[in-house]
Structure 1
């Protein structure tokens, strides 16, 4: 299994240029086709249409937003061409962001997205759209922190394991990265130091990874923190280049009510995160 086709979300945020360069570098490294997708942002479309309705210019504002999406797509094509990539294309889409990305990702092995920037307008809408995408997308999603401007290194990978279907899905989806990594750590957290019930399951997963050519270090750690905070600390302590984890192992409303690892990582990630639902 290899990533042969990548899809990258294009938008008008300051992090778009770095995300584009990351997608180009990964496509070159993996010999993959890369598609840039520029959807019309639903929040902006709604805002501009509401304002335009007062003046009777809905069609004009919609066309302006689509024109900006087309400009982003064309800029992506020019950057891919300048980088000498052999296989690439770009699409400007009228569909809302989450719907557009989920549909277009069906033709890709991996979707690249940016973490929403809380300093920008429509942050809450962008975060909600990303959560919806993670729940509906049939492909793994590689999330890039909005502060991450450097190339993505994938040498040291931290796999967060909680025994869920989503956790197994993410680990399986990440196999191409795990096989190429220099160091892989499989980690599970428990609050009771005497509780070793998860250890046999962790050992089976480690053995499964080994059969796929991935020698992984196993960690069965005790924490008094929330798992989300423990995961962020572990990523820093291990010098991780990437975190692999399942997205929303519980219903999204339950995660919002009780606090959840997925939400913690979406809002506070410090390194790229590969998520699957």
Structure 2
């Protein structure tokens, strides 16, 4: 099983080149077609036209954005040619959320970036990454806004809680898992851990081995509050030098997690390694 159609979201942010480099590396590894989808936040021009003295500013902004888009498009085509990868450039019009979501549904894997609050160009929409994860219908690889990742998927950490979302993420990540040098199934433990939970981890490890995963182990850490669980996962990933975290998104009610926090939001806000999420 391999990913044969990849989509990478591109914009004018500082990390767009890093996302493109990662997408190219994954496309080369799997012999995939790569779509570069350019989608950015665009202010409503009517808001400028009704404010005195702002029309010239909007026109200057529009011209600059067109120049930036042209530069990224040229870079995309040049990198495709250099890597000898098939692909296509797509410039979205209108709502960027709708554009990325729709394209993701015709892709095996969609690559987006974590929002960097210190880079205004990284803002696409409120909760951009998590909205794409929820609407994609398939796996979304979220890349942190800091750090350089020489490898992705050599050491895979699976966040496992036996939920439908976690199972969906594991199956969606199978191309990474079967090629990984090492895979760890991480689950919470505690005095109330059931025999069924322990058996679930063992069953999952056996299934992955049958799929071709060559080195799989099981790790347990203390159960805490949902946000603490996210922090514990990231700490474990850093200590173990993992380069990919696989997890289901919003295993609990999304409204509950949005209000109270939760592992999904904790990971998206404070991630330190690439995370493959599915819902």
Q: TM over 0.5, yes or no?
A: yes
Residues 1-277 of structure 1 mapped to structure 2, 5 A cutoff: 1-41=1-41, 44-46=42-44, 49-54=46-51, 57=55, 60=59, 64=63, 67=66, 68-81=68-81, 83-121=82-120, 126-192=125-191, 195-214=194-213, 215-224=215-224, 226-277=228-279
Question: Is the Cα contact below 8 Å between 1:73 and 1:91 reproduced in 2?
Answer: no
**What's the RMSD between the two structures over aligned residues?**
2.5
How far apart in 2 are the matches of 1:97 and 1:186?
35
5+ long unaligned stretches in structure 2: none
How far apart in 2 are the matches of 1:255 and 1:15?
28
How far apart in 1 are the matches of 2:27 and 2:193?
46
Pairwise CA distance, 1:131: 1.8
How far apart in 1 are the matches of 2:160 and 2:138?
19
Distance 1:260 1:125, change over 3 A: farther
How far apart in 1 are the matches of 2:50 and 2:70?
23
- Number of equivalent positions: 273
Question: Is the Cα contact below 8 Å between 1:98 and 1:130 reproduced in 2?
Answer: no
Please, what TM-score do these two structures have when normalized by structure 1? 0.89
Distance 1:145 1:169, change over 3 A: same
Distance 1:75 1:181, change over 3 A: same
Pairwise CA distance, 1:149: 2.9
How far apart in 2 are the matches of 1:53 and 1:137?
36
Please, what TM-score do these two structures have when normalized by structure 2? 0.88
